[in-house]
Amino acid sequence: MNLPNRLTMVRIALIPVTCALIALGLDVWAAAVFGAAALTDFLDGHIARKRGLVTAFGKFADPVADKLLVLTAMILLTERGLLPGWATVVVAARELIVDGLRMVSAGQGKVVAAKWPGKLKTVLQIVLVLALLLSGKNAFTSCLTVAAVAMTVVSGALYLRDFQDIFHDK
């Protein structure tokens, strides 16, 4: 297994650790572990592209690990009352829709690569989780919630546009 794929596996392994820390209310520790896990997301992609180590496993596991990390944290933060449920539902719905579209599209031989709106969406979601863990629910995190959800919707709409040809019979 190459280094980028190992980093993805580390991210996956840190998800239950992050969950336990959030559930125990150890927010600073949770933020540290979540931040380290999020950092592996940036590193694995950079290393894979720079060194030509892109693999089929990485193409599948990397986005799944990202979604699991962010959504798990968001669900736990929602349960604690730090994040509104509507925000978590919008993020989860977008991820399910886009992943479904990717699977159908891949079955038709078309791959749509991640674009900057999706990357910005991920960064905003990560910053939101970190901000909620480190400063709680306040005016800043409320604004950040709206920004992250707005970018989630925009990037989802752009994916729908890019995948529109899969809705037509050929």
| Angle formed by the axes of helices 56-79 and 3-23, nearest 10° | 10
**pLDDT grade for 112, boundaries at 50, 70 and 90:** low
The structure tokens listed for 13 are: 């392994």
In the chain, the domains with their CATH numbers are: 3-167 (1.20.120.1760)
40 contact partners, CB below 8 Å, separation of at least 6? 7, 8, 10, 11, 14
Question: Helices in the chain by DSSP H: which ranges?
Answer: 3-23, 27-51, 56-79, 85-107, 116-135, 139-162
Tens-place pLDDT, residues 1-24? 899 999 999 999 999 999 999 999
Q: What is the pLDDT of residues 119-158, one digit of tens each?
A: 999 999 999 999 999 999 999 999 999 999 999 999 999 9
Name which residue leads in pLDDT, 2 or 169.
Answer: 2
> Mean per-residue pLDDT for 162-168?
76
- Angle separating helix axes 85-107 and 56-79, nearest 10 degrees: 160
Task: Give the pLDDT confidence score for residue 169 in this predicted structure.
Answer: 61
Query: Which residue would you say has higher pLDDT here, 117 or 106?
Result: 117
Q: 48-79: per-residue pLDDT in tens?
A: 989 999 888 888 888 889 999 999 999 999 99
pTM here is: 0.92
Q: Is 139 exposed, middle or buried (0-12, 13-18, 19+ CB in 10 A)?
A: exposed
